[in-house]
């Protein structure tokens, strides 16, 4: 289920909608669950920021230097 929310985060970042991305990442954090634990396991802020960085890097077009 959590992958659905992570896809929503990516889509929101693609559309440059920060509010939607924040809501989707919150839902993703709530959806992370380990069956061996009794309570949900929330990703750290660092994990969420790394995920956002990866998404934004994939969205940027590759820039190739001009060779003289």
**pLDDT digit string (tens) for 21-33?**
666 666 666 665 5
Q: What angle do CA 55, 14, 22 make, to 5 degrees?
A: 75
Give the count of domains, the chain: 1
**pLDDT digit string (tens) for 52-61?**
777 777 776 6
- Measured distance CA(17)–CA(10) in Å, rounded: 10
Which residues have CB under 8 Å from 8's CB, separation 6+?
20, 24, 27, 28
Q: Does residue 12 belong to any structural domain of this protein?
A: yes
Q: Does residue 24 belong to any structural domain of this protein?
A: yes
Joined tokens for residue 27:
């839902």
- Measured distance CA(8)–CA(24) in Å, rounded: 6
**Does the structure show a pLDDT above 60 at 63?**
no
**48 within 8 A of 56, measured Cβ to Cβ:** no
Q: Does residue 66 belong to any structural domain of this protein?
A: no
* pTM: predicted TM-score of the whole model, two decimal places: 0.31
**Does the structure show a pLDDT above 50 at 35?**
no
- Determine the structural domain holding residue 16 and report its residue range: 2-59
């Amino acid at each position: 289920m959590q992958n659905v929310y992570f896809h929503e985060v990516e889509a929101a970042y693609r559309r440059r909608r920060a509010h939607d991305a924040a809501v989707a990442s919150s839902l993703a954090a709530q959806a992370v669950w380990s069956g061996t634990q009794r309570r949900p396991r929330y990703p750290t802020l660092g994990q969420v920021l790394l995920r956002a960085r990866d998404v934004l890097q994939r969205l940027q077009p590759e820039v190739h230097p001009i060779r003289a």
